[in-house]
Amino acid sequence: MRRLGDQRPLLLFVTATALLLAGGVAWLSAAPGWAAGLWVADTVLGLAFSVVTTAAALRRRQATVDVIAVLALGGALVVGEAFAGAMITVMLASGQLLEDRAAQRARRELSLLVERSPRTARRRDGDAIVEVPVDDVRAGDHLLVGTGQVVPVDGRLLSPAVLDESALTGEPLPVSRVVGEDVRSGVINSEHPIDLVATATAADSTYAGVVRLVEQAQASSAPFVRTADRFALWFVPLTLALAGGAWAWSGDAVRAVAVLVVATPCPLLLAAPIAIMSGLSRAASIGVVVKGGAALEQLAGGGVMLFDKTGTLTRGQPVLTGVVAAPGGPSPDETLRLAASLDQVSPHVLASAIVSGATRRGLPLAMPGAVAEVHGYGLAGVVDGRRVRLGKAAWIVGSPAPSWARQVRRRADLDASMVVFVAVDDEPAGALLLEDTIRPDAPRMVRALRRAGISRFVLVTGDRADVAEMVGRIVGVDSVLADCDPADKLRAIEQESATASTIMVGDGINDAPALAAAGVGVALAAKGSTASSEAADVVLTVDRVDALADVMLIARRSRGIALQAVLVGMGLSLVAMVAAALGLLPPAVGALLQEVIDVLAIALALRAVLPGRTHSVDLSAEDVATAQELRIEHDATQSVVQGIATVADAITTTAPDLGPTWRLLDELETKVLPHERADEARLLPLMSRALGGDDGTVALSRTHAEIEHQVARLRRLLEGTGDTPLPEDVVELRQLLYGLHAVLRLHNAQEEEGIFGLVPGGAQAG
């Protein structure tokens, strides 16, 4: 009866209202016979509708308060209270119309996504640009996206871009993206035309996955259990007992009908669905697909949340974390520049991280030539006339591996990193370290969810225990379960479900069983639909896990408003029922009073449409621009920070060469310290305004001072050692460098979480 696009609710409302008003005109025109006939017709219409809805509930073996409406309408016909029956019909019809409109509002944001799906793409074929059907695009194709056009497939940028990502993220401000960054289909190019290389077909791209999710949510047959029906077990017997008692005590059947009229549960039938549907609409507006009102209510009641690690608490894709130059080879920046230039045309997942890492350091990339993939080994090509190869250690450095390569591998094992080795002109040049880093918004999300009412967090992952424990400590979970296969995750959910309602959050195929088994399954589908999003009840189409905290607040607020509207409406109805039983309210007056109660309950429920409290931070356009400017400077200093450990590793007590250390000191004083001073002067006041206080900036300010102090110590130590440092000087120098490296890494992580993660596009930055 409530399918979207169905005009029956509107037709029912128009017909019921027209019959009621026509009867009123006839009554005022001294034609009581016509008035009674029109009102009787209206009552019969409402009775037929109520019988159909009650029968549908009985077929589902579901308790329902609709039976009260059937009895009230039937009783009104029996005792000749046609006007009261007509009023009840209008109430029921208005309820159906409001619920239908609320449902349409909830789906409208999602339907817009489907309507704007790209149909064609502009592909570069040599010097020509050819418009082709989007389904003909293949990974590796070079595409041109014009100003104002929708990006047709997932790809990697070959030129800088300013993108409107609001369709996927809900974020209204345009986001700047640099060369090498991944861009998702469905976003809009806001400025000059851009070039990109496709990394997926249209069917496998983000936007197609979102469309499939929308279609699945719209076709979902999961029953929406109305809040009203939970009251049926006690409210229906109470109403029948009160009506029967009034009839038996007074001997007047009209009193019984009056009780039934004012008991017609419109506050339940209208208010609860409106509040819940409004919550679905609010969730959709921030990029979260909730598959029905039942899922929203279950989300609101969750007490324990379980997380997968990869792609959920971590980015789910590698980020460049270090560059190690081979002895006698090119500098780290030159090694990275050549590798990233070659990787620009590769659709491999590691290529995005390498290209993005280079562009964030401001390295100028060149287009490669003679590119060839060597299956099982890596990629080869020519950059600026130099032969460049990327790939496995055996192909690049040979066997046995030299000591520097073994040291790189050992460091990668300790940090759970991946390594790509680089050769230039057939000589080993260095290695690139890549890591699946923790999402900067993950710790803030966990804190926000605790404030929203989640009492326990559990990390369940198939990763090894030391890595899982580290992630768990940083994010702030209560328990960590490592080395888990899908069966282990199911057992964890079963165990946690014994104490509270569970919410499982994941994004991989192996998470699908756990998502289906949990009280509520939440999937991350920002990079496309997977088996996990098919199995989940709630799907995040934005690549920010802190949206989960916002949708939890939306769910709890919607449920609270629904309950409040129900309790106020039913409380007033109970008072009116007692008055009717005592003969103080005739059916006609009771019907009018019930209409007033309905309007009040609906007004309370409609508050759910309005924006409520969220944990998100609103930044002004000026503050966003400042943060993005400082973020570029922040990224440009990362090569210096990563080089500190490399310099420290290379210092030996026998014939130490302090030249690299002096060069490092110069970079620290000319690049890192000016940036940290700019952060102190501009970023910390911005953060204080955004977070509403100075508490979050005190630690960062103290770290700025410590960085200044350690760099000053490094200069004094180098100046004091002279040209022939003693062994103890070298030991002291190494200790200082390793300490400075640790302080800077921690400080950068604090900035990522504290402010850069709040900026549009900040959580995705590498």
User: Taking a C-beta distance cutoff of 8 angstroms, is the pair 137, 154 a contact?
Assistant: no
Alpha helices in 170-226 (DSSP H): 206-219
Is residue 618 flagged as an active site residue? Answer: no
Among candidates 99, 88, 95, 101, which has minimal Cα distance to 19? 88
**β-pair partners for 431:** 324, 421
Q: What Rg, from alpha-carbon coordinates, does the chain have?
A: 33
Between CA 411 and CA 396 the distance in angstroms is 18
User: What is the residue-wise DSSP string for 96-157?
Assistant: HHHHHHHHHHHHHHHHHHHHT---EEEEEETTEEEEEEGGG--TT-EEEE-TTPBP-S-EEE
How many other C-beta atoms can be found within 10 angstroms of the C-beta atom of residue 408? 26
End-to-end CA distance of the chain: 50
Q: How far is C-alpha 434 from the geometric centre of its chain's CA atoms?
A: 25
Q: What is the sign, positive or negative, of the torsion defined by CA atoms of 87, 90, 96, 102?
A: negative
Helix H or strand E segment including 320: strand 319-325
Residue among 182, 308, 343, 679 flagged as catalytic: 308
As a residue count, the chain comes to 766
Residue with tokens 């905290």: 549
Phi-psi category of residue 589: left, alpha or beta, with phi > 0 → left and psi -120 to 50 → alpha = alpha
- Of 81, 168, 132, give the one whose Cα is nearest residue 541: 168
| Spatial distance between the Cα atoms of 139 and 144, rounded to a whole number of angstroms | 14
Q: Could you give the CA distance from residue 466 to residue 472 in angstroms, rounded to a whole number?
A: 10
Handedness of CA 144, 146, 149, 155 (dihedral sign): positive
Spatial separation of the C-alpha atoms in residues 291 and 717, rounded to whole Å? 63
Q: For residue 561, what are its two tokens?
A: 């408003």
Residue 195 burial (10 A CB sphere; 0-12, 13-18, 19+): middle
CA dist 461 → 109, 259, 307, 522 (Å)? 34, 58, 8, 16
Q: Report H helices in 379-530.
A: 393-396, 403-415, 442-452, 465-475, 486-497, 512-517
The H or E element spanning position 720 is helix 695-721
Strand arrangement of the beta sheet that strand 188-189 belongs to: 175-177, 161-164, 188-189
Q: What are residue 20's phi and psi, to 5 degrees?
A: -65, -45
Cite the DSSP H helix spans in 60-81: 66-79
Let me know if 600 is exposed, middle or buried by CB neighbors in 10 A (0-12, 13-18, 19+): middle
How far apart CA 183 and CA 352 sit, in angstroms, is 10
For every residue of 320-376, DSSP letters joined together read EEEEEEPTTS--HHHHHHHHHHHHTT---HHHHHHHHHHHHTTPPP---EEEEEETT
Task: Look at the block and give the residue holding tokens 């996955």.
Answer: 209
Write the single-letter amino acid at 683. Answer: L
| Amino acid sitting at position 745 | R
Half-sphere exposure for 737 (CA within 13 Å, toward CB): 26
Please compute, for residue 646, the number of CA atoms within 13 A of its CA located in the half-sphere on the CB side: 26
Residue 183 DSSP label: E
Residues recognised as catalytic: 308
